[in-house]
Amino acid sequence: MSEVKVWDVFVRVFHWSLVICFGLNALVLDDESKWHQWVGYMVAGLVAFRILWGFFGTKHARFSDFPPSLSAALGQLRGMLTRPTSLHVGHTPLGALMIYNLIFTLLAICASGYLMTTDMFWGVEWPETVHEAAVHWAEISVVLHVAAVVFESLRTRVNLPRAMVTGYKRLP
């Protein structure tokens, strides 16, 4: 068993703050309240910082460490069926696709939410339609994301949620 440092403190704080803020807005807060908008702006701020960190952050936080690649993701799926467990230190190709999906969806949610609050788009229907659809898509994605994290943790015997807390992966 070896311990490898994977996630810096910023990635970890970003992740769990995002979980709390997204959960508050999707499940707890009244969407007509000012709190909804403030928490929504926090999500926008977190995602903006994460995008910057994707260029200037530590090794495994950088987008160059997990480029979006459909062929690599398909290769990972094939590998799951044919090869003995292969381990990744940073994000896997499938995980990477999910992360880009979540980041773009969160940006669409925040942009459409902001438009709804402007005079120019007051009473215009499409920002609300986009906001609702993007929130639904984000919720479906989060369920898949968490299921994949649990599945991969069991399959590879690397506790991924623990690594997102401590910053270290324990590789067998």
For the stretch 110-117, contacts whose Cβ atoms lie closer than 8 Å and that sit 24 or more positions apart, written own/partner, are 110/40, 110/41, 110/43, 110/44, 110/47, 113/37, 113/40, 114/40, 114/44, 117/37
Is residue 11 at the binding interface for ligand HEM, with CB under 6 A as the rule? yes
For residue 5, the cross-strand partners are 168
Residue 136 exposure: Cα atoms within 13 Å on the Cβ side = 5
Least gap, CB of 134 to ligand HEM (angstroms): 8
Is residue 89 at the binding interface for ligand HEM, with CB under 6 A as the rule? no
For ligand HEM, the binding residue among 36, 101, 166, 171 (CB under 6 A) is: 36
- What residues line the site for ligand HEM (CB under 6 A)? 11, 14-15, 18-19, 22, 25-26, 31-32, 36-37, 40-41, 43-44, 50, 91, 95, 99, 102-103, 106, 109-110, 113-114, 116-117, 131-132, 135, 138, 142, 145-146, 149, 160-161, 164
